[in-house]
Amino acid sequence: MKNLLAPPHVNFGLQVDILANGLPRLRIDEIGGIYQRYNQTASYVLIAEPDLMASSAIDVKSTRDTDVLCFRTSTHQQLEFTVQHNPLRLTLRNTATGETLVDINANDLLHMEHYRRRSDTDDTRVEGMWEETFNHKPDSKPKGPQAFSLDIDFPSHAHIYGIPEHAAPLALPPTDGTSPRRTPYVDNSPPYTEPYRLYNLDVFEYEASSPMALYGSVPLMHAHSSRSSLAVFLLSASEMWIDVKHPSNHSTSTQWMGESGIIDLFLIPGPSVEDVFAQYASLTGVVQLPQQFALGHHQCRWNYFTSKDMLGVVDGFDSIDAPVDVLWLDIEYAEGHKYFLWDKRKFPDPVDMIESIAATGRKTVNIIDPHLSRDENFYVYQEASDRGLLVKRPDGQSEYEGWCWAGASSWVDMLNPAAWDWWISLFSFEKWKDSTRNLFTWVDMNEPTVFNGPEITMPKDVLFHGNVEHRDIHNMNGLLFTNLTAQGLEKRGEVNERSFVLSRSFFAGSQRFGAVWTGDNLGTWEHLRSATPMNLANSISGIMLTGADVGGFFGDPSAQYLVRWYQTGAFHPFFRAHAHIDTKRREPHTLSEPYRSIVRDVLRLRYTLLPLWYTAFRSSTRNGMPVIRPQFLVHPGDEAGYDIDDQFYVGAAAELLVKPVVQEDAQSVGVYLGGDEPYYDYFTHQISFAKEHIHRTLNIPTQLDTLPLFIRGGSIIPTRERARRSASLMVRDPLTLTIALDHYGEAQGRVYLDDGHSFDYTRDAFIDRNFTFSSISSDVRGGWALRSTQLEPGMSFTEGEEIEIERIQVLGLKEKPEEVITSGQLLQFTWKEGVAASGGEEGRASLLTIKKPLVRVRDDFEIVG
């Protein structure tokens, strides 16, 4: 390959691989350059070096000008990848439909700056090519210019999603100054005129709608239409900018610019949404199965100041009988912000405190930021310094020093393999005496934040192991740190416990190591509105355990606002309340009535639904599908839903639809009903059908304590209706199955249970059941049967043996059964008249409640009526 802007002796190479499952991977690099462009990102991000398709399975047709590769994906899609040589153009086409999926360099923007010597640089063009200054912060740029650019067109797809993290609508608005299709969630928001930026940054009081960079980045972009779904994944951890425009109503054109490294592009062809997620998961992996407690409620604040303060917060929850699983400690627990070191003046006996909290099944999390105080008496810094594990100044010799909470600080070099085992060892109980198995980790400031650095982060010319410049790996810095911290937790003690790490910075693949959140949001309605699209964007980018600071980090918002936040946050995968040090206390027990009780009920609702959440996460570890899903994923053929990002679905089969109320003093809210299925109001069991409502939009009044929550007809949802103080105290409690019938009077569902904390589930210690409710057509009375069968073979687990199903509720049944029987035994039941799902009428659904059906969850059973 040649670059017309480069001297004639400079060469570039294009390598095309077809992965075993049919994903084309394109790599572009300079050949024989002065330096090797950074090409190791994949080794940290991909779960493994991908297998390639056997060449025998690829039909190559070459002419003088083109090479055409024909192959079938593992999803049975017949594809044709064409390399046109001059001018260079790369296209991916679905052979069967003739649809062009991806068209690269159609706009001739593919470009890669070649390495050059400074002495060869034309003086008139030196400006910005070598050392430069941003806000008085110098960047020595020792290798000079090395950027790349690439245009990727989606000729048949008008909707694109992904490339988090931005506070932006889910369906990405264009960046060319034209108006987005849907009115944005922020009032009077001007159209975007800057490209989306991917550069992990600690942004103070970020805007609620903007393409500017935030804490994390995943360079994965989905393109979706009613005909097909696909994605592109440009694996580079350097700073990136992405422009988006729509040349026509049915197409999208994007341009990607990166600062350094090779171009490593994966084309993810779909064609279904499920295929896209499975294919992406085959590259960067699936979500770690979280510990059960991680899905409970988390209570955080900057800061709880003493052991007594912490225990008082636990007492506060207990006093109002509200559940909470995790109590969090921000930076002030650490003496002089030297993480690992508890300030014993405030926390005289940390182990005692952690174990007191653990007595009711609760966990403690404290913060371990990646900056190490350069204090010679601080053992962590001392060890890292002695072993030469710290990031170096551009001279490659002395330790880089910057400012963060701890004052003068240095950073661990996570590219150095010697740092890995050392970092892991810091978490061992022998080494860290003030920790227990009930203590977990929060990694903040890992973009990294450097108070006196350019844009509050690390200078790009700082050097990592192997003389790698920070610019080459910036966006995966947080990922590396989270990865090793998670390993630290997994390798301490008895080595069978899952880790839990919350990280602010993230990158593609971060799902394997824990949770993320959307950073320091504001306590404003606009930020509340931005939280759902942001968490949906993370979810469709593989980052499944994602949440936002419930209540808003900054400010002292009203009680109404807090209630609406809890109602929203309770349906985000990671559910943590947090607040800035300057705010007033706002834990649920500090609220006045009626707010306190409303919040308590929301917390209980979250816990009631924990079996559904846990099943969804387990399912995601199998198929890579998000646990919360936007409208377009659940109704991929319904174009009217593509721009909707203020309602979403929860569950392995998107069983629940939720539309958080995010407008102040909202009197009513419109819920878009996709598909033809009946939607059952979770609380009133009212059935609604899209066809009965103008624009398929159901308007429902919204008192402060009402939350628009629906069960999709055809679903069976597992819940635990008994209130407990924490998730682990629910582990033996019986389940309730709620069966919401579809038109045909049928439904199905799943429940997955395990011990909730160990890796025993990887050795089959789990229960994974499939429930099917079907009509027995042969029966003249139109009878039915509920069957429970094993979905994946598991051996159950100690606590799981005796778990019963205490109640089965069937919604929307046509007739009251004469009797309900299992294994020849008559079961007690009650019946409430109401409408049937199959009747197609709206109204309160009939309700059959089977009391104590005498079955255990782990067993096969059949109940007929």
* Pairing state between β 709-712 and 679-681: antiparallel
Q: Is 353 in the site for other proteins (CB under 8 A)?
A: yes
Cβ at position 205, least distance to other proteins in Å = 9
Cβ at position 453, least distance to other proteins in Å = 10
- For 26, how many CA atoms within 13 A lie in the half-sphere containing its CB? 25
Cβ at position 272, least distance to other proteins in Å = 39
Cβ at position 404, least distance to other proteins in Å = 9
Q: Which is nearer to other proteins, 117 or 584 (CB)?
A: 584
* Pairing state between β 326-329 and 297-299: parallel
* C-alpha radius of gyration, the chain, whole number: 28
Q: Which is nearer to other proteins, 352 or 841 (CB)?
A: 352
Q: Is 17 a catalytic residue?
A: no
Q: Are 126 and 117 in contact (CB under 8 A)?
A: no
Give the footprint of other proteins on residues 378-407 (CB under 8 A).
403, 405, 407
Q: Which stretch binds other proteins (CB under 8 A): 22-30, 648-656, 709-717, 726-734?
A: 726-734
Spatial CB neighbours of 122, under 8 Å, sequence gap ≥ 6: none
CA distance 214 to 12: 33
Q: Is 723 in the site for other proteins (CB under 8 A)?
A: yes
Tokens of 506: 């993230």
Cβ at position 859, least distance to other proteins in Å = 19
Spatial CB neighbours of 637, under 8 Å, sequence gap ≥ 6: 226
Give the footprint of other proteins on residues 272-311 (CB under 8 A).
305-309, 311
Residue from the set 34, 57, 60, 581 that interacts with other proteins by CB under 8 A: 581
Q: Is 321 in the site for other proteins (CB under 8 A)?
A: yes
Q: Is 346 in the site for other proteins (CB under 8 A)?
A: yes
* DSSP bridge partners of 836: none
Q: Is 137 in the site for other proteins (CB under 8 A)?
A: no
Binding-site size, other proteins (CB under 8 A): 46
Q: Which is nearer to other proteins, 306 or 524 (CB)?
A: 306
Q: Is 748 in the site for other proteins (CB under 8 A)?
A: no
Q: What is the DSSP string of 11-71?
A: EEEEEEEEBTTS-EEEEEEEES-SSPPP--HHHHHSSSPPPBPPGGG-EEEE-SSEEEEEE
Q: Are 593 and 315 in contact (CB under 8 A)?
A: no
Nearest CA to 69 among 40, 99, 92? 92
* Pairing state between β 546-550 and 574-577: parallel
* DSSP bridge partners of 352: none
Cβ at position 206, least distance to other proteins in Å = 12
CA distance 73 to 103: 18
Q: Is 559 in the site for other proteins (CB under 8 A)?
A: no
Rounded to a whole number of angstroms, the distance between the first and last alpha carbons of the chain is 71
Cβ at position 585, least distance to other proteins in Å = 6
Catalytic residue among 80, 490, 520, 768: 520
CA distance 351 to 425: 19
- Site mask, other proteins, residues 802-831, x = CB under 8 A? ----xx------------------------
Place of tokens 């709880």: 304
Q: Is 457 in the site for other proteins (CB under 8 A)?
A: no
Give the footprint of other proteins on residues 159-218 (CB under 8 A).
202, 204
Tokens of 805: 């199903």
Tokens of 357: 């909290």
Q: Is 733 a catalytic residue?
A: no
DSSP 172: P
Q: Is 345 in the site for other proteins (CB under 8 A)?
A: yes
Q: Are 374 and 401 in contact (CB under 8 A)?
A: yes
Cβ at position 25, least distance to other proteins in Å = 40
Q: Are 631 and 672 in contact (CB under 8 A)?
A: yes
Q: Which is nearer to other proteins, 419 or 827 (CB)?
A: 827
Catalytic residue among 202, 444, 754, 768: 444
Tokens of 115: 């390495």
Q: Is 207 a catalytic residue?
A: no
Q: Are 18 and 27 in contact (CB under 8 A)?
A: no
- Site mask, other proteins, residues 430-449, x = CB under 8 A? --------------------
Give the footprint of other proteins on residues 693-722 (CB under 8 A).
721-722
Q: Is 585 in the site for other proteins (CB under 8 A)?
A: yes
Q: Which is nearer to other proteins, 107 or 356 (CB)?
A: 356
Q: Is 371 in the site for other proteins (CB under 8 A)?
A: no
Q: Is 765 in the site for other proteins (CB under 8 A)?
A: no
Cβ at position 151, least distance to other proteins in Å = 36
Cβ atoms within 10 A of the Cβ of 182, count?
15
Residue from the set 226, 452, 798, 823 that interacts with other proteins by CB under 8 A: 452
Catalytic residue among 113, 447, 472, 587: 447
Q: Are 151 and 102 in contact (CB under 8 A)?
A: no
CA distance 679 to 636: 18
DSSP 725: S
Q: Rounded to whole angstroms, what are the CA distances from 467 to 36, 137, 464, 510?
A: 12, 21, 6, 24
Q: Which is nearer to other proteins, 581 or 795 (CB)?
A: 581
Q: Which is nearer to other proteins, 755 or 806 (CB)?
A: 806
Residue from the set 68, 468, 704, 729 that interacts with other proteins by CB under 8 A: 729
Q: Is 349 in the site for other proteins (CB under 8 A)?
A: yes
Cite the active site residues: 444, 447, 520
> Under the rule (CB under 8 A), what is the footprint of other proteins?
202, 204, 305-309, 311, 315, 318, 321, 343, 345-346, 349, 352-353, 356, 359-360, 403, 405, 407, 451-452, 456, 581-585, 597, 604, 608, 721-725, 729, 732-733, 806-807, 851-852
